[in-house]
Amino acid sequence: METGGLSETQPATPEVQHIADQVKPEFERREHKRYDTFRAIVYRTQVVAGTYYFIKVQISNSDTGYVHLRVFQALPQENQGPSLERYQTGKTRDDPLEYF
């Protein structure tokens, strides 16, 4: 995991929200649930042959209404959209966004 370490945690940008929106259907399919709220809060990146986005997303107003997503975005020439690799549910707004 030494190649490219994780970036600092940064406020989510419109681009990061767009990435979260693109993987939302896959997240909902895996969770067998629909979410009205799906708002990217903060993110970190790790550059490999492509980019991993670690994104904290608010999915409800409860204390544990946050998920951490790990999304892989291939290099532009690969011509693929982002893919949801892993996620962690039951997170709070204050949980640090760590590698998983």
Q: Show pLDDT as tens, one digit a residue, over the chain (100 residues).
A: 345 789 999 999 999 999 999 999 999 999 999 999 999 999 999 998 899 999 999 999 988 999 999 999 998 888 888 999 999 999 999 999 999 9
Q: What local confidence, expressed as pLDDT, does residue 76 receive?
A: 84
Residues in the chain: 100
Q: What is the biggest distance separating any 2 CA atoms in the chain, rounded to whole angstroms?
A: 40
* 67 CB-near residues (< 8 Å, 6+ apart): 27, 56, 57, 59, 87, 88, 89, 91
Measured over the CA atoms of residue 80, residue 10, residue 36 and residue 14, the dihedral's sign is negative
Would residue 71 count as lying in a domain? yes
Q: What local confidence, expressed as pLDDT, does residue 79 receive?
A: 86
Would residue 1 count as lying in a domain? no
How far is Cα 71 from Cα 54, in angstroms, rounded to an integer?
6
Residue 35 sits in a domain of what CATH number? 3.10.450
Radius of gyration of the chain (CA): 13
Q: What local confidence, expressed as pLDDT, does residue 2 receive?
A: 42
In which domain, by residue range, is 40 found? 10-91
pTM, two decimals, is 0.87
Would residue 3 count as lying in a domain? no
Measured over the CA atoms of residue 38, residue 39, residue 41 and residue 44, the dihedral's sign is positive
Number of structural domains, the chain? Answer: 1
